[in-house]
Structure 1
Amino acid sequence: MKEIFIERSESLLRIAIKENNELVESIVEEKKSGPIIGEIYKGKIKNIIQGTNSIFVDLGLDKEGYMYYSDELKSKDLKKGDEILVEVIKEPIGNKGAKITHKVSIPGKYVVLDCYSSGIKFSKRINDDLKKEEILNNIAPLEDVCITIRTEGANIALEKLKAEIDKFYEIFKNLDSKMKYSLGTQKLYGDDAILTKILTNNIGNETVKVFVNDEKDFNIINSFVDGESNFKIEKYTGYRGIFDYYGIEKELLKLRHHKVNLPCGGYIVIEKTEAMYVIDVNSGKNIKERSFNKTILETNLEAAKEVGKQIRLRNLSGIIVIDFIDMRDKNQRSLVMSVLQESLRNDKGNVKIFPFTELDLVQIARRRNGKSIYEYMEEECSLCKGRGIVLKLSYIEGLIKNEIIRMKEENSIESFYIEVDSVYKDRVKEDVFSFLKEIDALGNDIYLNYVDGIDGYKIEPLLFQNQKDNLKDYKVNNIEEY
């Protein structure tokens, strides 16, 4: 059984997926993080650079989007200032804006509609010619829009298929109308792009249970999976966050560790460089009484399985290089490659695995889809000028908030002593009101101290007056003067 946990707060949308009670995937989107894959914008062309075949488009955001100036676009005689309908296909990274395309498409559960071709097409996985013929005989093509039948679309009643096509065709017509009559550059579609993508990726015969805390998200999901008997949706109304209540927060924190132990006694180490992720495989304590070649094979096989798991869990993207322990036997390499491919078979991240090099390196290219767990949880240390990594202040605030809410609700505690690392001191003191608001403690007595070298934070309930008296120098008395 699959379980999908969806937690929305003022600044974050967090999604975790479990399979058979094991965490397999985590997705995080920050409200201020910019455009995400699948969103559709009305843009205005800002620049066309012939030398690099690039078009830069104002999306009404901080950074311009960019796309390839193809022969097809050249034939349209586009010029600076023209308005254009575009879709985000790659999120911004660093100083680079979002990568976009004029080939706009809208994916559903059973079909994908796009406006850059016409007719009816089928997923490559649909091999039933009789089913294809039935669909072609009963579904009418749309004007200026192509219908692609997804794999799941071949397994449902025609009425259901027609209903989804009609629904998304109406969206396309609305997009066309908004494109013509709306003023200025703006987002036209995709507020629930991440939710619908996650749900679409998990539609199948397996039972899926969805836990969601936000009313609007609950209604969107209910509408999207209407009629899907394998989907069970539960509105979470507890006082604690979903991730905290179901223990997901603790599992995410473990992902900060770069070393991952293997059952055989070996381990892998995951490191990020400027250009790529590097995963090193080590035999470690795997020194059982057997041949050295068998030890190497066992360690590499377990590593290959774990690497696929960690790539999904940590949402690693771009170039990933795995340094396996040297193997001289081609058959062993083939076995390890098969396990690695199987471990990434269910990954929806558009993964390409390249063959072993002579140095037993395997390269993986994985399309960026949201932030990695590191980008969401960690930041450079401001005191050591980027030479160290610490938890993000926003993430620490969320962890403290979980503990304060739990102690207030379960034990009626109203006073708390909090320690945070000195690295956060300037930012907290600059706007202590926002800090107290983020940790849900504006109405509480807070004693705040900054300590060097602690890993994130520490929080203790204050039950007795003598505890408060001993800590009076740390009390946040006047927010504006603090």
Structure 2
Amino acid sequence: MINLLHLVQLRAHCKLKGWCLRVKEIFIERREKILRIAIKSNNELIESIVEENNNEPIIGEIYKGKIKNILPAINSIFVDIGLDKEGYMYYSEELKAKGIKKGEEILVEVIKEPINDKGAKLTSKVSIPGKYVVLNCYEKGINFSKRIEDNEKKNIILNNIKPLENASITIRTEGINVDLVELNDEINKLYKEFENIDNKMKHSLGQKKLYGEDLSLIKILNNSDKNETTKIYVDTDIDFEKIEMFVRGKENIKLEKHDNFRNLFDFYGLEKELLKLRHNKVNLPCGGYIVIDKTEAMYVIDINTGKNIKERNFNKTILETNLEAAKEIGKQIRLRNLSGIIVIDFIDMRDKSQKDIVMDALKESLKSDKGNIKIFPFTQLDLVQIARKRQGKSVYEYMEEKCTLCKGRGMILKLSYIAGLIKNDIVRMKEENSIGCFHIELDNLYKDRVNEDMFNFIKEIEALDKEIYLTYVDNIEGYKIEPLIFQGQKDNLKDYKVSVIEKYTH
């Protein structure tokens, strides 16, 4: 645990210096095919990320590919990367000059995930990002971010860093002020990654992924701030060992292994907080509210004044509502992990100075989303467009599925997600009260799927050794569960008991 005296002393020091002490908590929960990460700042949930291992390419992954087809008419190259769908990339002048041919092996990076029947978008300009540096594979030289304008500091770095063989170095904006020893350490670390990729590219057989395990986790660890006291919770030995190496020597970061019988997210109340994010309406302190909707092509966020009628001046009411909305939208984008195109419909503002104030507030709320986001100016209709890079799944993709009864027009909780919630409840009640008998109510929407494969459902909720009574009802939010303590309760439900044959028959 973080030493209490140390925290008190740190708070006092920060107050004396006029600094704002931030305490960040990172929760990392891993299952067989799911990695979930939640981040809290000063006890407030600010970000959630889900990565699912479903054999589909993710942005930032690097593959050894083979060129399957070149179509000059549409300037496209199709590449086999060893997965179900071929990826595609732009047939650039640079590739044309290299004389690239069909059947040739090529190193590629995923820059856009597959959508519907379309494969992943790729690039042959492959890079390995760090916190202060980006390594560009098979290029030469030392370059600087366009935002870096201090020529004196550039020269210091150029005089103290050696160029690499077969890889160029790009110093990121944060890298210009970091200690040279730390900068060189990161370069050496990234270069070892490159050598590993290069070796696999030359000597491994077939098309496959060469780099990209747990990219979301690596990015979050890389973005940790020296001015934050950070506590990281993990629930597997593998993650503990991996992160322990990363935080070694960093006094502001503490690591803890979660050994409780309850799941990490359930124990720390994160599951309940994430479930709240299914609601598309978010109230603002002023009385207004925002509504977040997903269409086939984008997310749309609408702002309403609602009950904000305290100002007699309507222009002030509009500005106040839009300003609070701008701050909240930045928070919700990260919380819900929205990506792709996001369109915000602000309440009409005739005064350009008001638009500038609102835009500044929106940019400030998304400032910590480094390198992921691009915000475009107001349109004539007071719309703001945002483009955000995808990093893992949104909360909707992870939790929800299309409702079969309304032909996909509505969304319901995924059965797999409900099974996880039921399992949490069963484990908690069993350990706390030694109860092994439960009545579960499920929405009728799930009846056919559960009955078709009762064994796997009971297995997923970890109840093969429990006494389960299962009923189906209409119009409940997913499920209800209650422990059965008295024989009379069991007698009343005897017709709904899951039999031993159902439990153990595949």
Corresponding residue for 2:118? 96
Task: Report the AA paired with residue 31 of structure 1.
Answer: N
Query: Which moved further from structure 2: 247-256 or 431-440?
Result: 431-440
1:238 has 2:238 as partner: no
Residue of structure 2 in register with 1:291 after alignment = 313
Gapped runs of 5+ residues in structure 2?
A: 1-22
- Which letter maps to 1:3? E
Match of 1:134 in 2: 156
1:229 aligns with 2:251: yes
Aligned partner (choices 31, 35, 42) of residue 13 of structure 1: 35
Task: Normalising by structure 1, report the TM-score.
Answer: 0.95
The match for 2:406 is 384
Q: CA-to-partner distance for each residue in 1:153-185, whole Å, 9 max, x for gaps?
A: 444443343333223222222222211221111
Q: How many residues align?
A: 482
Q: Residues 327 and 108 (structure 1 numbering): CA distance in 2 closer, same or farther, change over 3 Å?
A: closer
Q: Any idea what the Cα deviations from partners look like across 1:302-351, whole Å, max 9, x if unmatched? A: 11111111111111122211111122222222211111111111113622
1: CA distance, partners of 2:302 / 2:180: 50
Q: For residues 84 and 182 of structure 1, what CA distance do their matches in structure 2 show?
A: 13
Task: Name the counterpart of 1:70.
Answer: 92
Given that 2:59 and 2:390 are in contact with CA atoms closer than 8 Å, whether structure 1 keeps it comes out as no
Structure 2 vs 1, CA of residues 481 and 7 (structure 1 numbering), >3 Å: closer, same or farther? closer
Change (3 A) 1:226 1:36: farther
Instruction: State the partner residue of 1:331.
Output: 353
Is 1:48–1:55's contact at 8 Å kept on the other side of the alignment?
A: yes
The residue type paired with residue 231 of structure 2 is K
Q: Say whether residues 1:81 and 2:103 are aligned partners.
A: yes
The letter for the 1-side match of 2:373 is V
Alignment of 1:42-441 (within 5 A): 42-126=64-148, 128-348=150-370, 350-441=372-463
Structure 2 CA distance for partners of 1:155 and 1:354, relative to 1, 3 Å: closer
Q: Deviations over 1:263-299 (max 9, x none)?
A: 1111111111122111111111111152122111111
SS of 2:85 mapped into structure 1: coil
User: SS in structure 2 opposite 1:51?
Assistant: helix
Secondary structure in structure 1 of the residue aligned to 2:73: coil
Task: Tell whether the 8 Å contact from 1:349 to 1:368 is kept in structure 2 after alignment.
Answer: no
Return the alpha-carbon distance in structure 2 between the equivalents of residues 284 and 307 of structure 1.
16
Q: Which amino acid aligns with 1:445?
A: E
TM-score, normalised relative to structure 2? 0.91
SS of structure 2 residue aligned to 1:179: helix
Worse-superposed segment, 261-270 or 136-145? 136-145
Match for residue 496 of structure 2 among 462, 471, 474: 474
CA gap of 1:164–1:367, structure 2 versus 1, over 3 A, is closer
Q: 1:165 to 1:336 in 2, by over 3 A?
A: closer
Contact 1:35–1:91, Cα closer than 8 Å, also in 2: yes
* Kept in 2: contact 1:281–1:323 (CA 8 A): yes
Q: Distance in 1 between matches of 2:378 and 2:184?
A: 46
2: CA distance, partners of 1:250 / 1:137? 53
Aligned residue type for 2:64? K
Amino acid at match of 1:427: R
Q: 1:153 to 1:326 in 2, by over 3 A?
A: closer
Q: Partner of 2:56 in structure 1?
A: 34
SS in structure 2 opposite 1:395?
helix
| Shift in Å, 1:27 | 0.5
Whether contact under 8 Å (2:455, 2:505) holds in the other structure is: no
- In structure 2, relative to structure 1, the CA distance for the partners of 1:132 and 1:373 (3 Å cut) is same
For 1:51 and 1:469, locate their aligned partners in 2 and report how far apart those are by CA, in whole Å: 73
Name the CA distance, whole Å, in 2 between partners of 1:205 and 1:126.
22
1:342-381: CA deviation from partner (whole Å, max 9, x where unpaired): 1111113622222222222222222222221111111110
Farther-moved stretch of structure 1 (268-277 vs 161-170): 161-170
Tell whether the 8 Å contact from 1:103 to 1:115 is kept in structure 2 after alignment: yes
Contact 1:196 1:224 in 2 (8 A): no
SS in 1 for 2:420: helix
Root mean square deviation, CA, Å: 1.9
SS in 2 for 1:347: coil
Aligned to 2:4: none
Provide closer, same or farther for how the CA distance between residues 157 and 287 of structure 1 changes in structure 2, counting only shifts above 3 A. closer
Does the C-alpha gap of structure 1 residues 366 and 167 become closer, same or farther in structure 2, counting only changes over 3 Å? closer
Which amino acid is the alignment partner of residue 295 of structure 1?
Answer: T
Give the equivalent residue in structure 1 for 2:8.
none
